[in-house]
Chain A
Amino acid sequence: MEMILTFIEQNVDMIYFIALSIFVGVEVIGHVPAVLHTPLMSGANAIHGVVIVGAIHVMLNLNSDDYLLLILGFLAVLLGTLNVVGGFVVTDRMLEMFKKKN
Protein backbone atom coordinates (compact mmCIF):
# COMPACT_ATOMS: atom_id res chain seq x y z
CA MET A 1 0.00 0.00 0.00
CA GLU A 2 2.81 2.33 1.02
CA MET A 3 4.50 1.53 -2.31
CA ILE A 4 1.41 2.37 -4.36
CA LEU A 5 0.92 5.69 -2.56
CA THR A 6 4.55 6.68 -3.12
CA PHE A 7 4.19 5.71 -6.77
CA ILE A 8 1.09 7.90 -7.15
CA GLU A 9 2.81 10.80 -5.39
CA GLN A 10 5.88 10.57 -7.63
CA ASN A 11 3.99 10.12 -10.88
CA VAL A 12 0.95 12.34 -10.40
CA ASP A 13 1.71 14.42 -13.52
CA MET A 14 2.08 11.26 -15.57
CA ILE A 15 -1.23 9.91 -14.29
CA TYR A 16 -3.01 13.14 -15.29
CA PHE A 17 -1.30 13.03 -18.66
CA ILE A 18 -2.38 9.45 -19.33
CA ALA A 19 -5.97 9.98 -18.18
CA LEU A 20 -6.40 13.12 -20.28
CA SER A 21 -4.86 11.44 -23.33
CA ILE A 22 -7.38 8.61 -23.05
CA PHE A 23 -10.21 11.15 -23.13
CA VAL A 24 -8.66 12.93 -26.10
CA GLY A 25 -8.41 9.62 -27.97
CA VAL A 26 -12.04 8.78 -27.34
CA GLU A 27 -13.26 12.28 -28.23
CA VAL A 28 -11.24 12.49 -31.43
CA ILE A 29 -12.61 9.18 -32.73
CA GLY A 30 -16.14 9.67 -31.46
CA HIS A 31 -17.17 11.92 -34.37
CA VAL A 32 -15.87 9.81 -37.22
CA PRO A 33 -18.45 8.63 -39.79
CA ALA A 34 -18.53 4.89 -40.58
CA VAL A 35 -17.21 5.54 -44.09
CA LEU A 36 -13.85 6.49 -42.68
CA HIS A 37 -13.40 3.63 -40.24
CA THR A 38 -11.04 1.61 -42.38
CA PRO A 39 -8.70 4.51 -43.23
CA LEU A 40 -8.90 5.57 -39.60
CA MET A 41 -7.88 2.16 -38.32
CA SER A 42 -5.03 2.19 -40.78
CA GLY A 43 -4.01 5.73 -39.78
CA ALA A 44 -4.10 4.87 -36.08
CA ASN A 45 -2.03 1.83 -36.95
CA ALA A 46 0.62 4.10 -38.47
CA ILE A 47 0.62 6.37 -35.43
CA HIS A 48 1.41 3.61 -32.95
CA GLY A 49 4.46 3.10 -35.12
CA VAL A 50 5.85 5.90 -32.93
CA VAL A 51 7.28 2.95 -31.03
CA ILE A 52 10.16 3.28 -33.52
CA VAL A 53 11.34 6.32 -31.52
CA GLY A 54 11.89 3.96 -28.60
CA ALA A 55 13.77 1.52 -30.82
CA ILE A 56 16.11 4.28 -32.06
CA HIS A 57 16.60 5.48 -28.49
CA VAL A 58 17.57 1.96 -27.41
CA MET A 59 20.03 1.63 -30.30
CA LEU A 60 21.70 4.97 -29.51
CA ASN A 61 22.48 3.77 -25.98
CA LEU A 62 24.04 0.43 -26.95
CA ASN A 63 27.75 -0.35 -27.04
CA SER A 64 29.14 -1.20 -30.45
CA ASP A 65 30.25 -4.67 -29.25
CA ASP A 66 26.87 -5.87 -27.91
CA TYR A 67 26.30 -7.90 -31.04
CA LEU A 68 23.15 -9.76 -29.98
CA LEU A 69 21.48 -6.63 -28.67
CA LEU A 70 22.55 -4.69 -31.78
CA ILE A 71 20.89 -7.29 -33.98
CA LEU A 72 17.69 -7.15 -31.91
CA GLY A 73 17.77 -3.34 -31.97
CA PHE A 74 18.37 -3.32 -35.72
CA LEU A 75 15.34 -5.58 -36.20
CA ALA A 76 13.26 -3.36 -33.92
CA VAL A 77 14.05 -0.24 -35.96
CA LEU A 78 13.38 -2.13 -39.19
CA LEU A 79 9.99 -3.44 -38.07
CA GLY A 80 9.06 -0.05 -36.58
CA THR A 81 9.88 1.63 -39.90
CA LEU A 82 7.71 -0.90 -41.75
CA ASN A 83 4.85 -0.05 -39.40
CA VAL A 84 5.26 3.72 -39.82
CA VAL A 85 5.98 3.97 -43.55
CA GLY A 86 3.62 1.19 -44.62
CA GLY A 87 0.86 2.54 -42.39
CA PHE A 88 1.01 6.15 -43.57
CA VAL A 89 1.46 5.29 -47.26
CA VAL A 90 -1.42 2.83 -47.35
CA THR A 91 -3.68 5.26 -45.50
CA ASP A 92 -2.78 7.97 -47.98
CA ARG A 93 -3.58 5.62 -50.83
CA MET A 94 -7.04 4.93 -49.43
CA LEU A 95 -7.81 8.58 -48.75
CA GLU A 96 -6.58 9.65 -52.16
CA MET A 97 -9.60 7.83 -53.58
CA PHE A 98 -12.04 9.81 -51.49
CA LYS A 99 -10.36 13.05 -52.45
CA LYS A 100 -10.86 12.48 -56.17
CA LYS A 101 -14.60 12.64 -55.70
CA ASN A 102 -14.87 15.93 -53.82
Chain B
Amino acid sequence: MSALNEICYFIASMTFVIGLRMMGNPKTARKGNLIGAAGMLVAIIGTVLFHKGEVPFIIYFLIGFSILIGTLIGWFTARKVAMTKMPELVSLFNGMGGACAALISLVEYPHLSNQTGSLIAVLAGLIIGSVSFSGSIIAFLKLNGTMSKAIRIPSSNIFNTALMLVTIGVATVIVLNPGFNTLPVVYCLLLLSLLYGVFFVIPIGGADMPVVISLLNSFTGLAAAFGGFLYGNKAMLTGGILVGSAGTLLTVIMCKAMNRSLSSVIFGAFGGNSAGLGKTSEGGTVKDIQVTDLSILMNYSKKVIIVPGYGLAVAQAQHVIHEIELLLESRGVEVKYAIHPVAGRMPGHMNVLLAESSVDYSKLSEMEEINPEFASTDVVLVVGANDVVNPAAKNDPSSPIYGMPILDVENATHVIVNKRSMNAGYAGIENELFYNNKTSMLFGDAKSVLTALVNELKAL
Protein backbone atom coordinates (compact mmCIF):
# COMPACT_ATOMS: atom_id res chain seq x y z
CA MET B 1 0.00 0.00 0.00
CA SER B 2 1.44 3.33 -1.03
CA ALA B 3 1.84 6.38 1.17
CA LEU B 4 -0.74 8.27 -0.91
CA ASN B 5 -3.21 5.49 -0.23
CA GLU B 6 -2.55 5.76 3.49
CA ILE B 7 -3.07 9.52 3.38
CA CYS B 8 -6.46 9.05 1.72
CA TYR B 9 -7.48 6.49 4.33
CA PHE B 10 -6.30 8.79 7.12
CA ILE B 11 -8.42 11.64 5.76
CA ALA B 12 -11.41 9.31 5.45
CA SER B 13 -11.02 8.01 9.01
CA MET B 14 -10.88 11.52 10.43
CA THR B 15 -13.93 12.66 8.46
CA PHE B 16 -15.89 9.68 9.80
CA VAL B 17 -15.14 10.67 13.40
CA ILE B 18 -15.75 14.39 12.80
CA GLY B 19 -18.84 13.71 10.69
CA LEU B 20 -20.46 11.46 13.30
CA ARG B 21 -19.60 13.99 15.99
CA MET B 22 -21.24 16.83 14.05
CA MET B 23 -24.31 14.70 13.43
CA GLY B 24 -24.95 14.85 17.15
CA ASN B 25 -26.10 18.47 16.97
CA PRO B 26 -29.13 19.58 14.93
CA LYS B 27 -27.27 22.69 13.73
CA THR B 28 -24.23 20.92 12.33
CA ALA B 29 -25.79 17.56 11.50
CA ARG B 30 -26.23 18.08 7.80
CA LYS B 31 -22.71 19.35 7.32
CA GLY B 32 -21.42 16.39 9.34
CA ASN B 33 -23.10 13.95 7.02
CA LEU B 34 -21.62 15.69 3.97
CA ILE B 35 -18.15 15.65 5.53
CA GLY B 36 -18.47 11.89 6.04
CA ALA B 37 -19.59 11.49 2.43
CA ALA B 38 -16.63 13.56 1.20
CA GLY B 39 -14.24 11.37 3.21
CA MET B 40 -15.81 8.28 1.69
CA LEU B 41 -15.25 9.71 -1.78
CA VAL B 42 -11.59 10.36 -0.97
CA ALA B 43 -11.17 6.76 0.25
CA ILE B 44 -12.80 5.30 -2.87
CA ILE B 45 -10.89 7.46 -5.36
CA GLY B 46 -7.65 6.88 -3.47
CA THR B 47 -8.13 3.10 -3.62
CA VAL B 48 -8.57 3.13 -7.40
CA LEU B 49 -6.02 5.81 -8.22
CA PHE B 50 -3.07 4.85 -6.06
CA HIS B 51 -3.25 1.10 -6.51
CA LYS B 52 0.16 -0.46 -7.12
CA GLY B 53 0.61 -3.01 -9.88
CA GLU B 54 -0.79 -3.70 -13.31
CA VAL B 55 -4.56 -3.88 -13.56
CA PRO B 56 -6.28 -4.97 -16.78
CA PHE B 57 -8.53 -2.32 -18.29
CA ILE B 58 -11.58 -4.60 -18.11
CA ILE B 59 -11.37 -4.57 -14.32
CA TYR B 60 -11.30 -0.76 -14.16
CA PHE B 61 -14.27 -0.79 -16.49
CA LEU B 62 -16.21 -3.27 -14.32
CA ILE B 63 -15.51 -1.26 -11.15
CA GLY B 64 -16.59 1.98 -12.81
CA PHE B 65 -19.68 0.38 -14.28
CA SER B 66 -20.87 -1.17 -11.00
CA ILE B 67 -20.27 2.10 -9.11
CA LEU B 68 -22.29 3.93 -11.76
CA ILE B 69 -25.25 1.54 -11.53
CA GLY B 70 -25.09 1.49 -7.73
CA THR B 71 -25.00 5.30 -7.58
CA LEU B 72 -27.98 5.66 -9.89
CA ILE B 73 -30.14 3.10 -8.07
CA GLY B 74 -29.06 4.26 -4.61
CA TRP B 75 -29.61 7.94 -5.39
CA PHE B 76 -32.98 7.34 -7.00
CA THR B 77 -34.29 5.10 -4.21
CA ALA B 78 -33.08 7.45 -1.47
CA ARG B 79 -34.70 10.48 -3.15
CA LYS B 80 -38.01 8.81 -3.98
CA VAL B 81 -38.87 6.83 -0.87
CA ALA B 82 -41.44 8.32 1.52
CA MET B 83 -40.17 9.43 4.92
CA THR B 84 -42.51 6.97 6.62
CA LYS B 85 -40.62 4.15 4.91
CA MET B 86 -37.36 5.15 6.57
CA PRO B 87 -36.94 2.03 8.75
CA GLU B 88 -37.38 -0.20 5.70
CA LEU B 89 -34.82 1.77 3.76
CA VAL B 90 -32.21 1.74 6.52
CA SER B 91 -32.55 -2.02 6.92
CA LEU B 92 -32.33 -2.56 3.16
CA PHE B 93 -29.16 -0.46 2.74
CA ASN B 94 -27.73 -2.18 5.79
CA GLY B 95 -28.36 -5.55 4.17
CA MET B 96 -26.48 -4.39 1.05
CA GLY B 97 -23.44 -3.54 3.16
CA GLY B 98 -23.58 -6.92 4.85
CA ALA B 99 -23.82 -8.71 1.52
CA CYS B 100 -20.86 -6.69 0.25
CA ALA B 101 -18.75 -7.82 3.22
CA ALA B 102 -19.76 -11.46 2.72
CA LEU B 103 -18.93 -11.31 -1.01
CA ILE B 104 -15.50 -9.84 -0.29
CA SER B 105 -14.77 -12.84 1.90
CA LEU B 106 -15.93 -15.25 -0.81
CA VAL B 107 -13.71 -13.65 -3.43
CA GLU B 108 -10.76 -13.30 -1.08
CA TYR B 109 -10.91 -16.87 0.23
CA PRO B 110 -9.26 -18.64 -2.76
CA HIS B 111 -6.34 -16.13 -2.62
CA LEU B 112 -5.51 -16.69 1.02
CA SER B 113 -2.05 -17.83 1.95
CA ASN B 114 -1.74 -20.04 5.00
CA GLN B 115 -2.05 -17.31 7.57
CA THR B 116 -4.42 -18.15 10.40
CA GLY B 117 -5.14 -14.48 11.20
CA SER B 118 -6.30 -13.74 7.64
CA LEU B 119 -8.40 -16.90 7.53
CA ILE B 120 -10.18 -15.94 10.75
CA ALA B 121 -10.83 -12.42 9.43
CA VAL B 122 -12.23 -13.80 6.15
CA LEU B 123 -14.51 -16.29 7.90
CA ALA B 124 -15.70 -13.74 10.48
CA GLY B 125 -16.49 -11.25 7.70
CA LEU B 126 -18.39 -13.98 5.86
CA ILE B 127 -20.46 -15.05 8.86
CA ILE B 128 -21.28 -11.59 10.20
CA GLY B 129 -21.91 -10.12 6.75
CA SER B 130 -24.28 -12.95 5.78
CA VAL B 131 -26.20 -12.81 9.06
CA SER B 132 -26.54 -9.06 8.66
CA PHE B 133 -27.70 -9.46 5.06
CA SER B 134 -30.36 -12.13 5.52
CA GLY B 135 -31.48 -10.65 8.85
CA SER B 136 -31.90 -7.20 7.28
CA ILE B 137 -33.90 -8.61 4.39
CA ILE B 138 -36.28 -10.37 6.81
CA ALA B 139 -36.54 -7.15 8.85
CA PHE B 140 -37.30 -5.28 5.64
CA LEU B 141 -40.02 -7.76 4.62
CA LYS B 142 -41.60 -7.55 8.07
CA LEU B 143 -41.60 -3.77 8.20
CA ASN B 144 -42.92 -3.64 4.69
CA GLY B 145 -45.83 -5.87 5.70
CA THR B 146 -44.87 -8.54 3.16
CA MET B 147 -44.21 -10.92 6.00
CA SER B 148 -46.51 -11.12 9.01
CA LYS B 149 -45.08 -9.43 12.07
CA ALA B 150 -43.89 -12.42 14.05
CA ILE B 151 -43.72 -16.07 13.26
CA ARG B 152 -43.61 -18.43 16.20
CA ILE B 153 -41.32 -21.36 15.80
CA PRO B 154 -41.62 -23.94 18.57
CA SER B 155 -38.58 -23.68 20.85
CA SER B 156 -36.97 -21.18 18.50
CA ASN B 157 -34.47 -20.09 21.15
CA ILE B 158 -32.99 -23.56 21.44
CA PHE B 159 -33.01 -24.00 17.68
CA ASN B 160 -31.35 -20.62 17.08
CA THR B 161 -28.69 -21.19 19.71
CA ALA B 162 -27.97 -24.60 18.22
CA LEU B 163 -27.73 -23.11 14.74
CA MET B 164 -25.34 -20.44 15.99
CA LEU B 165 -23.15 -23.03 17.74
CA VAL B 166 -23.05 -25.21 14.62
CA THR B 167 -22.06 -22.19 12.50
CA ILE B 168 -19.26 -21.19 14.87
CA GLY B 169 -18.27 -24.88 15.16
CA VAL B 170 -17.89 -25.25 11.40
CA ALA B 171 -15.79 -22.06 11.27
CA THR B 172 -13.56 -23.36 14.08
CA VAL B 173 -13.08 -26.68 12.30
CA ILE B 174 -12.06 -24.84 9.11
CA VAL B 175 -9.45 -22.85 11.02
CA LEU B 176 -8.03 -25.75 13.05
CA ASN B 177 -8.18 -28.54 10.49
CA PRO B 178 -6.58 -27.82 7.09
CA GLY B 179 -8.44 -30.83 5.63
CA PHE B 180 -11.72 -28.93 5.92
CA ASN B 181 -10.23 -25.71 4.61
CA THR B 182 -11.91 -26.10 1.22
CA LEU B 183 -14.31 -24.06 -0.87
CA PRO B 184 -17.36 -26.38 -0.50
CA VAL B 185 -17.09 -26.22 3.31
CA VAL B 186 -16.87 -22.43 3.12
CA TYR B 187 -20.04 -22.34 1.02
CA CYS B 188 -21.72 -24.52 3.67
CA LEU B 189 -20.66 -21.93 6.22
CA LEU B 190 -22.20 -19.21 4.05
CA LEU B 191 -25.48 -21.12 3.89
CA LEU B 192 -25.53 -21.71 7.66
CA SER B 193 -24.89 -18.01 8.32
CA LEU B 194 -27.65 -16.91 5.95
CA LEU B 195 -30.06 -19.34 7.65
CA TYR B 196 -29.07 -18.06 11.07
CA GLY B 197 -29.82 -14.47 10.01
CA VAL B 198 -33.29 -15.54 8.86
CA PHE B 199 -34.13 -17.48 12.01
CA PHE B 200 -32.61 -14.78 14.22
CA VAL B 201 -35.06 -12.11 13.04
CA ILE B 202 -38.16 -14.20 12.22
CA PRO B 203 -39.46 -14.65 15.79
CA ILE B 204 -38.88 -10.99 16.69
CA GLY B 205 -41.92 -8.88 16.07
CA GLY B 206 -43.55 -5.51 15.94
CA ALA B 207 -42.30 -3.09 18.53
CA ASP B 208 -38.81 -4.57 18.73
CA MET B 209 -37.92 -4.23 15.06
CA PRO B 210 -36.03 -0.89 15.40
CA VAL B 211 -33.76 -2.49 18.00
CA VAL B 212 -33.02 -5.34 15.61
CA ILE B 213 -32.19 -2.98 12.75
CA SER B 214 -29.86 -1.02 14.98
CA LEU B 215 -28.19 -4.25 16.11
CA LEU B 216 -27.77 -5.49 12.52
CA ASN B 217 -26.36 -2.07 11.66
CA SER B 218 -23.59 -2.57 14.19
CA PHE B 219 -23.06 -6.13 12.86
CA THR B 220 -22.33 -4.77 9.40
CA GLY B 221 -19.91 -2.31 10.98
CA LEU B 222 -18.14 -5.24 12.60
CA ALA B 223 -17.98 -7.11 9.28
CA ALA B 224 -16.41 -4.04 7.65
CA ALA B 225 -13.89 -3.87 10.49
CA PHE B 226 -12.84 -7.49 9.87
CA GLY B 227 -12.29 -6.55 6.22
CA GLY B 228 -10.11 -3.70 7.42
CA PHE B 229 -8.13 -6.07 9.63
CA LEU B 230 -7.61 -8.41 6.68
CA TYR B 231 -6.13 -5.71 4.43
CA GLY B 232 -4.63 -3.57 7.16
CA ASN B 233 -6.96 -0.90 5.79
CA LYS B 234 -7.34 1.86 8.38
CA ALA B 235 -10.37 3.53 6.78
CA MET B 236 -12.35 0.29 6.88
CA LEU B 237 -11.18 -0.34 10.42
CA THR B 238 -12.13 3.08 11.76
CA GLY B 239 -15.42 3.24 9.89
CA GLY B 240 -16.36 -0.31 10.83
CA ILE B 241 -15.44 -0.08 14.50
CA LEU B 242 -17.06 3.36 14.89
CA VAL B 243 -20.34 2.06 13.52
CA GLY B 244 -19.97 -1.18 15.46
CA SER B 245 -19.57 0.52 18.81
CA ALA B 246 -21.89 3.45 18.10
CA GLY B 247 -24.55 1.07 16.76
CA THR B 248 -24.33 -1.10 19.86
CA LEU B 249 -24.70 1.94 22.10
CA LEU B 250 -27.67 3.17 20.06
CA THR B 251 -29.26 -0.28 20.43
CA VAL B 252 -28.87 -0.09 24.20
CA ILE B 253 -30.32 3.45 24.28
CA MET B 254 -33.35 2.24 22.32
CA CYS B 255 -33.87 -0.71 24.64
CA LYS B 256 -33.72 1.68 27.60
CA ALA B 257 -36.39 3.90 26.07
CA MET B 258 -38.67 0.88 25.91
CA ASN B 259 -37.50 -0.40 29.29
CA ARG B 260 -36.48 -3.72 27.82
CA SER B 261 -33.21 -5.53 28.03
CA LEU B 262 -31.43 -6.55 24.86
CA SER B 263 -31.66 -10.22 25.78
CA SER B 264 -35.43 -10.03 26.25
CA VAL B 265 -35.70 -8.50 22.78
CA ILE B 266 -33.69 -11.30 21.22
CA PHE B 267 -34.84 -14.28 23.27
CA GLY B 268 -38.27 -13.31 24.54
CA ALA B 269 -39.82 -11.51 21.63
CA PHE B 270 -43.29 -10.10 22.14
CA GLY B 271 -45.58 -8.44 19.66
CA GLY B 272 -46.67 -11.44 17.70
CA ASN B 273 -48.92 -13.48 19.91
CA SER B 274 -51.48 -11.00 21.16
CA ALA B 275 -53.55 -13.84 22.60
CA GLY B 276 -53.09 -14.09 26.34
CA LEU B 277 -50.83 -11.05 26.56
CA GLY B 278 -51.68 -8.59 29.28
CA LYS B 279 -55.08 -7.94 30.72
CA THR B 280 -57.85 -7.71 28.18
CA SER B 281 -60.32 -5.10 29.11
CA GLU B 282 -63.52 -6.52 30.49
CA GLY B 283 -65.88 -4.80 28.09
CA GLY B 284 -65.79 -1.29 29.54
CA THR B 285 -67.76 1.39 27.79
CA VAL B 286 -66.20 3.65 25.22
CA LYS B 287 -67.37 7.21 24.61
CA ASP B 288 -67.02 8.80 21.24
CA ILE B 289 -66.93 12.43 20.21
CA GLN B 290 -67.95 14.18 16.99
CA VAL B 291 -65.72 16.60 15.11
CA THR B 292 -68.08 19.56 15.71
CA ASP B 293 -67.96 19.13 19.49
CA LEU B 294 -64.22 18.61 19.45
CA SER B 295 -63.61 21.80 17.46
CA ILE B 296 -65.54 23.84 20.04
CA LEU B 297 -63.76 22.09 22.91
CA MET B 298 -60.35 22.81 21.42
CA ASN B 299 -61.17 26.32 20.33
CA TYR B 300 -61.97 27.40 23.89
CA SER B 301 -59.08 25.57 25.53
CA LYS B 302 -56.04 27.29 26.96
CA LYS B 303 -53.61 24.53 26.29
CA VAL B 304 -53.64 21.62 23.86
CA ILE B 305 -51.03 18.89 23.61
CA ILE B 306 -50.84 16.73 20.50
CA VAL B 307 -49.46 13.19 20.87
CA PRO B 308 -48.53 11.97 17.40
CA GLY B 309 -47.91 8.29 16.73
CA TYR B 310 -47.04 6.22 13.74
CA GLY B 311 -50.72 6.07 12.70
CA LEU B 312 -50.49 9.79 11.97
CA ALA B 313 -47.68 9.19 9.54
CA VAL B 314 -49.38 6.22 7.91
CA ALA B 315 -52.41 8.40 7.20
CA GLN B 316 -50.05 11.14 5.91
CA ALA B 317 -51.81 13.52 8.31
CA GLN B 318 -48.71 15.38 9.54
CA HIS B 319 -49.48 18.40 7.33
CA VAL B 320 -53.09 18.60 8.52
CA ILE B 321 -52.04 18.43 12.15
CA HIS B 322 -49.68 21.34 11.53
CA GLU B 323 -52.62 23.29 10.09
CA ILE B 324 -54.66 22.59 13.24
CA GLU B 325 -51.73 23.76 15.34
CA LEU B 326 -51.53 27.06 13.43
CA LEU B 327 -55.31 27.63 13.58
CA LEU B 328 -55.43 27.03 17.32
CA GLU B 329 -52.45 29.29 17.92
CA SER B 330 -54.14 32.08 15.99
CA ARG B 331 -57.03 31.74 18.48
CA GLY B 332 -54.64 32.10 21.39
CA VAL B 333 -54.42 28.42 22.33
CA GLU B 334 -51.04 27.14 23.44
CA VAL B 335 -50.14 24.06 21.36
CA LYS B 336 -47.32 21.59 21.95
CA TYR B 337 -46.34 18.20 20.64
CA ALA B 338 -45.41 15.42 23.05
CA ILE B 339 -42.87 13.10 21.46
CA HIS B 340 -42.31 9.71 23.05
CA PRO B 341 -38.75 8.42 22.48
CA VAL B 342 -40.03 5.52 20.39
CA ALA B 343 -42.90 7.34 18.67
CA GLY B 344 -43.00 6.38 15.04
CA ARG B 345 -41.00 3.30 14.31
CA MET B 346 -37.50 4.34 15.30
CA PRO B 347 -36.24 6.73 17.98
CA GLY B 348 -36.49 10.22 16.56
CA HIS B 349 -38.54 9.05 13.59
CA MET B 350 -41.52 11.22 14.59
CA ASN B 351 -39.33 14.32 14.75
CA VAL B 352 -38.21 13.73 11.19
CA LEU B 353 -41.79 13.25 10.02
CA LEU B 354 -43.04 16.42 11.74
CA ALA B 355 -40.05 18.40 10.54
CA GLU B 356 -41.03 17.31 7.04
CA SER B 357 -44.38 19.06 7.44
CA SER B 358 -42.75 22.30 8.73
CA VAL B 359 -43.62 21.95 12.42
CA ASP B 360 -41.40 24.25 14.45
CA TYR B 361 -38.56 22.33 16.09
CA SER B 362 -39.10 24.19 19.40
CA LYS B 363 -42.70 22.95 19.68
CA LEU B 364 -41.60 19.32 19.94
CA SER B 365 -41.22 18.36 23.59
CA GLU B 366 -39.60 15.18 24.80
CA MET B 367 -41.32 12.91 27.29
CA GLU B 368 -39.52 13.92 30.52
CA GLU B 369 -40.07 17.58 29.86
CA ILE B 370 -43.76 17.37 28.89
CA ASN B 371 -45.06 14.81 31.40
CA PRO B 372 -45.50 17.31 34.28
CA GLU B 373 -47.43 19.60 31.93
CA PHE B 374 -50.33 17.25 31.23
CA ALA B 375 -52.00 18.12 34.56
CA SER B 376 -52.40 21.73 33.41
CA THR B 377 -53.60 20.77 29.94
CA ASP B 378 -57.22 21.07 28.79
CA VAL B 379 -57.17 18.77 25.79
CA VAL B 380 -54.77 16.05 24.75
CA LEU B 381 -55.21 14.87 21.18
CA VAL B 382 -53.70 11.42 20.62
CA VAL B 383 -53.38 10.68 16.92
CA GLY B 384 -52.43 7.19 15.84
CA ALA B 385 -50.47 6.41 19.00
CA ASN B 386 -51.38 3.57 21.30
CA ASP B 387 -48.71 1.74 23.27
CA VAL B 388 -46.87 4.93 24.28
CA VAL B 389 -49.97 6.16 26.14
CA ASN B 390 -51.04 2.80 27.57
CA PRO B 391 -51.38 3.02 31.38
CA ALA B 392 -50.84 -0.73 31.57
CA ALA B 393 -47.14 0.09 31.35
CA LYS B 394 -47.47 1.64 34.82
CA ASN B 395 -50.04 -0.46 36.63
CA ASP B 396 -50.28 -3.92 35.10
CA PRO B 397 -47.24 -6.07 35.95
CA SER B 398 -48.56 -8.85 33.70
CA SER B 399 -48.47 -6.60 30.63
CA PRO B 400 -45.56 -7.15 28.25
CA ILE B 401 -44.94 -3.40 28.13
CA TYR B 402 -44.95 -3.08 31.94
CA GLY B 403 -42.19 -0.70 33.00
CA MET B 404 -41.93 1.18 29.71
CA PRO B 405 -42.02 4.93 30.42
CA ILE B 406 -45.17 6.43 28.90
CA LEU B 407 -46.76 9.83 28.34
CA ASP B 408 -49.08 10.60 31.27
CA VAL B 409 -51.94 11.81 29.08
CA GLU B 410 -54.63 10.71 31.54
CA ASN B 411 -53.65 13.64 33.81
CA ALA B 412 -55.19 16.12 31.36
CA THR B 413 -58.81 17.28 31.64
CA HIS B 414 -59.90 15.76 28.33
CA VAL B 415 -58.23 13.02 26.36
CA ILE B 416 -59.24 12.62 22.73
CA VAL B 417 -57.97 9.52 20.97
CA ASN B 418 -58.13 9.28 17.22
CA LYS B 419 -58.09 5.70 15.94
CA ARG B 420 -59.49 3.93 12.96
CA SER B 421 -61.06 1.17 15.03
CA MET B 422 -60.74 -0.48 18.41
CA ASN B 423 -57.97 -2.77 17.21
CA ALA B 424 -54.94 -3.19 19.43
CA GLY B 425 -51.72 -1.29 18.69
CA TYR B 426 -48.30 -2.17 17.34
CA ALA B 427 -47.49 -4.44 20.27
CA GLY B 428 -50.93 -6.06 20.12
CA ILE B 429 -51.97 -5.08 23.63
CA GLU B 430 -55.33 -3.87 24.88
CA ASN B 431 -55.35 -0.21 26.07
CA GLU B 432 -57.44 0.69 29.13
CA LEU B 433 -56.98 4.39 28.44
CA PHE B 434 -59.78 4.11 25.89
CA TYR B 435 -62.20 3.09 28.66
CA ASN B 436 -61.17 5.94 31.02
CA ASN B 437 -64.08 8.30 31.68
CA LYS B 438 -61.96 11.31 30.66
CA THR B 439 -61.37 9.74 27.27
CA SER B 440 -63.44 10.27 24.15
CA MET B 441 -62.74 8.34 20.99
CA LEU B 442 -62.61 10.07 17.64
CA PHE B 443 -63.03 7.24 15.17
CA GLY B 444 -61.92 7.48 11.56
CA ASP B 445 -58.91 7.83 9.30
CA ALA B 446 -56.59 10.44 10.82
CA LYS B 447 -56.32 12.51 7.67
CA SER B 448 -60.04 12.77 6.85
CA VAL B 449 -61.09 13.32 10.46
CA LEU B 450 -58.45 15.99 11.05
CA THR B 451 -59.29 17.71 7.77
CA ALA B 452 -62.91 17.87 8.92
CA LEU B 453 -61.66 19.32 12.21
CA VAL B 454 -59.73 22.02 10.33
CA ASN B 455 -62.90 23.00 8.45
CA GLU B 456 -64.94 23.13 11.65
CA LEU B 457 -62.28 25.26 13.35
CA LYS B 458 -62.20 27.66 10.41
CA ALA B 459 -65.98 28.03 10.58
CA LEU B 460 -65.94 29.02 14.25
Contacts and interface: CB of A to CB of B under 8 A. Distances in A.
Contacts of B58: 64
Given A51-B236, A98-B30, A45 B66 contact: no
B29 A36 contact: yes
Contacts of B34: 88, 92
A51 B100 contact: yes
A63 B110 CA distance: 12
A42 B221 contact: no
Contacts of B250: 29, 37, 40-41, 44
B123 interface: no
Contacts of B364: 35
B48 A89 contact: no
Nearest to B222: A48
Given A21-B245, A56-B47, A59-B59, A86 B107 contact: no
Interface in A1-37: 3, 7, 11, 14, 17-18, 21-26, 28-37
Among B16, B214, B253, the one with the most A-chain Cβ atoms within 10 Å of its Cβ is B16
A62 B63 CA distance: 12
A27 to B, nearest CB: 9
B347 interface: yes
A32 B19 CA distance: 13
Main secondary structure of the interface of B (DSSP, over half): helix
Given A31-B24, A38-B86, A50-B236, A25 B241 contact: yes
Given A37-B250, A51-B224, A28 B242 contact: yes
A39 B221 CA distance: 17
A34 B341 contact: yes
Interface string A73-91: 1111111111111111111
A44 B93 CA distance: 11
A30 B249 contact: yes
A11 B25 CA distance: 36
A73 B58 CA distance: 13
Contact of A79 (B62, B83, B103): B103
Contacts of B86: 38, 42, 90, 94
B11 to A, nearest CB: 12
Contacts of A45: 90, 93-94, 97, 217, 220, 243
B237 A26 contact: no
A86 B93 contact: yes
Interface in B202-254: 213-214, 217, 220-221, 223-225, 227-231, 233-247, 249-250, 253-254
Contact of B244 (A25, A31, A32): A25
Contact of A57 (B20, B96, B233): B233
Interface stretch (B273-281, B354-362, B378-386, B443-451): B354-362
A55 B104 contact: yes
A58 B361 CA distance: 46
Contacts of B65: 74
Given A32-B24, A40-B250, A79-B96, A86 B77 contact: yes
A64 to B, nearest CB: 4
B397 interface: no
Nearest to A17: B237
B74 A84 contact: yes
Given A25-B242, A35-B364, A51 B235 contact: no
B97 A57 contact: no
A44 B378 CA distance: 41
A22 B241 contact: yes
Contacts of B19: 43, 47
Nearest to B220: A48
A64 B56 contact: yes
Given A25-B242, A49-B97, A41 B346 contact: yes
B162 interface: no
A70 B58 CA distance: 10
A85 B71 contact: yes
B43 A47 contact: no
A80 B40 CA distance: 12
B327 interface: no
Interface string B59-72: 10011011101110
B237 A102 contact: no
A31 B250 CA distance: 11
Contacts of B225: 18
Given A38-B346, A58-B104, A73-B107, A48 B97 contact: yes
13 contacts: A29-B24, A37-B346, A39-B33, A48-B223, A48-B240, A51-B104, A51-B240, A52-B44, A54-B230, A54-B236, A79-B103, A83-B94, A100-B358
Given A25-B249, A41-B213, A44-B217, 8 more contacts: A23-B245, A69-B110, A81-B74, A84-B74, A85-B75, A89-B75, A95-B23, A102-B26
